[in-house]
Amino acid sequence: MTESALSRRFHGKVVVVTGSAQGIGMTVARRLVAEAATVVLVDRSELVHEVAAELRDSGGLAHGVTADLERFSETEAAMAEAHRRHGRIDVLINNVGGTIWMRPYEHYDADRIQAEIQRSLFPTLWSCRAVLPYLIEQRSGTIVNVSSVATRGVNRVPYAAAKGGINALTASLAQETAQYGIRVVATAPGGTEAPPRRIARNSDDQSAQEEAWNQQVVDQTTDSSLMKRYGNLDEQAAPIVFMASEEASYITGTVLPVAGGDLG
């Protein structure tokens, strides 16, 4: 594929990117706009509108939608707005999620366990369900879920369970929807270097013990990578965009590890 063709891979495509106010989601949105996509950025933070404005200022086609994707009603409304505005949805990239706390499982209380599952599984479950009627009606579409290789990792059991659920969702939904011309795939990022978060996952002051538990996660993540390092945002975004593109047209039901050789 020529460079000019590569830069236009998503021309005429409407792509919804969730969790796109910062981090991997924002980097994915920027790449998609650079490749001529029309991008709908969805996040519960108002910062998503700043990101959309930046993309428009650079000549891209983008707008932001605020929604709490842990709630099905708001998820459904966000997908309906994207469809109403553009008449179709070609790609959904489910990027919401992330560990809120890091600690051995016996130190999680019931509320924290539920919060981790609610944060890292339900936004993807809800978003797939909300977008599906539009994709089935148009007999085409791609869903890219962002999972994690932390399905095998220390101090994040509830998060690991949530991401394991996303892997199962990806495989099962791919089987159900292939008959409609829909692909469902996922990437599984490993540790990723990123600028400080503008929206904290939690506001707790960390104790010395909690800092030690966090360091155990960093050490295990690095040791599990054959490359012995964290990736960067572009190294995560590029495979997501590839899986969303027509170049991956014969891939479905697959989870692609992106973790320097750590398979999760």
Q: What phi and psi, each to the nearest 5 degrees, are found at residue 155?
A: 65, 20
* Residue given tokens 């572009």 in the structure block: 234
Tell me the C-alpha distance between 89 and 64, whole Å. 15
d(C-alpha 99, C-alpha 197), whole Å: 13
- For the chain, helix (H) and strand (E) counts, in that order, are 9, 9
Tokens encoding 141: 């579409």
Catalytic residues: 159
Q: φ, ψ for residue 257 (rounded to 5)?
A: -70, 135
d(CA 144, CA 105): 29
On whether the CB atoms of residues 14 and 42 are closer than 8 A, the answer is no
Tokens of 115: 């919060």
Cβ atoms of 37 and 10 within 8 Å: the answer is: yes
